[in-house]
Chains A and B, each alone.
Chain A
Amino acid sequence: GENVEQHPSTLSVQEGDSAVIKCTYSDSASNYFPWYKQELGKRPQLIIDIRSNVGEKKDQRIAVTLNKTAKHFSLHITETQPEDSAVYFCAASGGGGADGLTFGKGTHLIIQP
Chain B
Amino acid sequence: NAGVMQNPRHLVRRRGQEARLRCSPMKGHSHVYWYRQLPEEGLKFMVYLQKENIIDESGMPKERFSAEFPKEGPSILRIQQVVRGDSAAYFCASSPQEGNEAFFGQGTRLTVV
* Contact surface of A with B, Cβ cutoff 8 Å: 1, 6, 32, 34, 36, 42-46, 49, 89, 93-94, 97-106
Task: Report the separation of the CA atoms of residues A1 and B48 in the bound assembly, to the nearest whole angstrom.
Answer: 15
Is the CB of B41 closer than 8 A to any CB of chain A? yes
Question: How far, in angstroms, from A96 to B105 measured CA to CA in the complex?
Answer: 26
Set A6, A32, A36, A102: member contacting B100, Cβ < 8 A: A32
How many chain B residues sit at the interface, stated as a range, is: 20 to 34
The yes or no answer to B42 lying at the interface (CB within 8 A) is yes
Q: A89-B43, A106-B42 are in contact. Are A44 and B100 (CB under 8 A)?
A: no
Most chain B CB neighbours (cut-off 10 Å) among A32, A43, A101, A102: A43
Q: Find out whether the CB atom of A104 lies under 8 angstroms from the CB atom of B42.
A: yes
- B65 on the A face (CB < 8 A): no
Which 3 A-B residue pairs are closest in the complex by CB-CB distance?
A98-B56, A105-B42, A43-B104
* Interchain CB contact under 8 A, A99 and B100: yes
Shortest CB distance B3–A (Å): 9
